[in-house]
Amino acid sequence: MTKNWLITGASSGLGRELAERLLARGDRVVATIRKEGAPDDLQARHRERLHVVECDVTNVNAVRATVAEAFEVMGRLDVVVSNAAYGLFGAAEELTDAQIDRQIATNLTGSIQVIRAALPSLRNQGGGRIVQVSSEGGQIAYPSFSLYHATKWGIEGFVEAVAKEVASFGIDFLIVEPGPTRTNFGAGLDRATPMSCYDPTPAGEIRNAIASGNFASYGDAGKTVDAMIVAIDSPNPPLRLALGQSAYHSVREALLGRLRVLESQKEVALSVMEQS
C-alpha cells in the first residue's frame, strides 16, 4: 500500500537515500532541505509524488509551517522521519558557544519541534509513525563528540517519554541508531579549533583516527536504509533499532557495562529507602 512520508534533512545522506528508495517503490514524499535545488534530479523523475520544502529546523515557525504544509499537500502522513542533523567535533573546552548553540538547536531542539508539530495532526487522523534518526551515539560516547552525544542522548530520552504519552492515540516511534555509515556526514562535520594540550589525550587520539580514516568500520548507506524501511513497514517495530557492526557491538558492550555497575550498587541503592 502506498504511504505518505515527511522526511527532514533529505538533501543528502540517509535522508536522501530514504527518499530515493521510497519514491522508486511508488510512495509519496514531502522532503525538506536547507537550500534550494538540492534534490532537483529527484524532482525531475518523481514530480507528481515528491514535494520539496525549504526548512531550517532551527526556525520553530518554519518547522510548524512545513509540517502543516506536508499534511495539507498529502492529506495525511503515515510516517514522519526526523532526520535533519549534523555532527560537531572537538573536545568540550575547544568548542565555541556559537557551535554549541547551533548543535543543540539543530539536533535536539529542531528534532523536538518537528515531533511536536506533527503530533496534533497524527492524533487527529487516528495515528501514525514517527521515526527519529539518532545514531549509536545516542547510547555510547566517544571523546571529542560530547555535544553531539548530548543531543542524541537527549532526543532519545525525549522520544522514549513521548512514545508513552501518545501510544493511546495510535502514534508510535522508532529510534534508528546507525553506526558510522558511508555517507557525506564527515563533509558536514563542524570542527572546533584544536588545542595542543589535547593531542596526547583520548580526544587527540580520536582526532588522529578520524584524520587518518581509521576511526571505524563503515556501514553501507543503502543497506542501512533498506533495513530502516523494513522496520518502518513492520506492524510492530522495536523502539530502538541499532544498525551496523559498530552500533551492535558498541551499544551491547555499553549496556552490559552499565548493567554490571548498577548490579554492583544494589545494596547501597536499597539502603537509602525509608523503613516502613
List, by residue number, the catalytic residues: 134, 148, 152
Beta bridge mates, 178? 243
Cβ atoms of 244 and 180 closer than 8 Å? yes
Cβ atoms of 79 and 5 closer than 8 Å? yes
Cβ atoms of 83 and 7 closer than 8 Å? yes
Cβ atoms of 192 and 145 closer than 8 Å? no
Nearest to 5 by CA among 84, 73, 106: 73
CA distance 217 to 257: 22
The C-alpha angle 152, 110, 7, rounded to 5 degrees, equals 90
How many Å is the Cα radius of gyration of the chain?
20
CA distance 84 to 58: 10
Which residues are CB-neighbours of 270 under 8 A, at least 6 positions away? none
Helix (H, G, I), strand (E, B) or coil at 240: strand
